[in-house]
Amino acid sequence: MPIAPTYRADPKFPELGPEFADAVEAAAFPATILRYRNDRAAATVGLEQLTDAEWIAHFGRFEPLPGAIAPPIAQRYHGHQFRVYNPELGDGRGFLFAQLREAQTGRLLDLGTKGSGETPWSRQGDGRLTLKGGLREVLATAMLEALGVPTSRSFSLVETGEALTRTDEPSPTRAAVLVRLSHSHIRFGTFQRQAFYERGDKVEALVDHVIAHYYPSLTGANDKAAALLAVVIRKSARLTARWMAAGFIHGVLNTDNMSITGESFDYGPYRFLPRNDPNFTAAYFDQNGLYAFGRQPEAVFWNLQQLAGCLSLVTASEPLVEALNGFAAVYRRELIAAMLDRLGLKPLGEEPDAVFVQAVFKAIAAGSEPLRWEPFFFDWFCGEAERAMAGPRAAIYETEGFADFRRLIEDYECDRPGRLGHPYFARREPEELLIDEIEAIWAAIDKADDWGPFEAKLAAIDAARRAWGLPSQQSFAGT
Ligand code: AMP
Ligand code: MG
């Protein structure tokens, strides 16, 4: 079996014991048709040499990989869903299949599934994933990675030949099983479940586990729980800032969808912003706009407060509150860094950068009727006014609302100007991932089984990723 020497299985989650997971089995699917394999991600864990047949055996039929978690386990967790506590969650259609070390960084990564069959936590669900849902997640993760957001990566998508019934999609609809490569699937909700049962001992065990395997530099901290909260706050603030700079609305920021590593994951009804709109809401069932674009920082902070509540079972409240109080400042700092990254500019200093980023948001807001989100960053990448003013949106940039921004950006120097030489930046329009395009990609598959537009889109996103040269997933390692 062609597995590269860099492959290193290192199952750690099972060490937490039976309170945290249940052994499960993958469904036997009537068909296993490979629709997507992420060889770039596979190369980071030594699996890129698998033949398609082997790939399907592992990621369609779930024959165990060497050193895999066998049988696979469905994780137990609880969570606040739209602020209502739900004690009946858990992996209802997925499991942890393997834990592997990332070759370059040594990070502990999970291969986890979505749509692999029923588990003890399926409730009324069928344990399945629609093919359209899987395709949407593949596209989201590719785009977020290109835009420099810490995200799980879509590893594999295999169509399963089943027909599913869904109330929010025309049915019957096709089914698939997705495999994700994630830097942990431990959620805020994993802590919440133990806290709910008042198992301080298990909360403590989880703190130790997370520190040992994800934040080893905190080993030996005086107050481990408070130190862990502080780092999760930092990571979550960074993630939120990077969602905002990417114009991304996750859609379902429930505590069971928040990872303790600050990696974005679980993409359901997400959207990318067409144009600036703080009230833009992704999920049709989010009638109150709780998780609207502009409310994401507040939603993440609320979730962090729930995590702090769990940790108060094992440490004093004061250091936890103090850590929480740090969120706003870290978020502001991370937002500035993320916006400068997206514009390809070198920082000037805390003060001027804060003033500048404020002017950026003011300009985006002023232009928000005609100006789409993504083209703004594309036009102004590296701060070259000449290029922006030669493009299709020059008339917008001439308006008064852009005056401060245009004046301030002149002081900035391009970071790695070589990137502008990429043919991508000679285009008039950037790569976007707006809903109409996703629907068109799906329609081609649904109506004619034409995967061409899907594959072309992934190739285009990858070209954009290389052109932008934003922080890689590996660069988000550490504390
Ligand atoms: P999500 O909105 O995808 O984060 O899912 C919330 C919860 O519902 C998780 O516990 C999922 O495992 C579960 N779930 C979602 N869809 C299904 C399904 N089709 N079958 C079983 N469980 C599901
Ligand atoms: Mg989820």
Query: What integer pLDDT is reported at residue 18 of this predicted model?
Result: 95
Task: State pTM to two decimals.
Answer: 0.97
**Ligand 2: centre distance to CA 257 (Å):** 5
Give the residue, out of 76, 85, 113, 122, with the most ligand 1 atoms within 8 A of its beta carbon, to mutate for a pocket test.
Answer: 122
Residue 418's Cβ-count burial label (10 Å; 0-12, 13-18, 19+) is exposed
**410/413 Cα distance (integer angstroms):** 8
Catalytic residue, candidates 91, 110, 223, 256: 256
- Give nearest CA residue, ligand 1 atom 16: 125
Q: Taking 80 as the threshold, does the pLDDT of residue 1 lie above it?
A: no
Quickly state the pLDDT bin for 105 (edges 50, 70, 90): very high
Whether 286 lines ligand 1, by a CB cut-off of 6 Å, is no
- Ligand 1 touching residue 89 (CB < 6 A): yes
Cβ of 257 below 6 Å from ligand 1: yes
Interatomic CA distance for residues 273 and 435, integer angstroms? 9
Q: Is 256 a catalytic residue?
A: yes
Q: Can you give the pLDDT at residue 176?
A: 98
Determine what percent of the chain is predicted with pLDDT higher than 90. 98
Residues 328-368 have pLDDT tens digits of 999 999 999 999 999 999 999 999 999 999 999 999 999 87
Q: What is the mean pLDDT of residues 136-145?
A: 98
Using the atom order of ligand 1, give the atom closest to the CA of residue 114. Answer: 12
Contact by Cβ (8 Å): 51, 107: no
Q: How far apart are CA 461 and CA 154, in angstroms?
A: 14
Q: Average the pLDDT over 290-313 and give the result.
A: 98
User: Is 122 a pocket residue for ligand 1 (Cβ < 6 Å)?
Assistant: yes
pLDDT digits (tens, 9 = 90+) for 416-462: 999 999 999 999 999 999 999 999 999 999 999 999 999 999 999 99
Please give the Cα distance from 338 to 372 (Å, whole number): 18
* Both tokens assigned to 6: 């860099």
Helix, strand or coil, per DSSP, at residue 161: strand
Q: What's the pLDDT tens digit per position in 260-274?
A: 999 999 999 999 999
Burial of 135 (0-12, 13-18, 19+ CB in 10 A): buried
User: What is the token pair recorded at 348?
Assistant: 């000037």
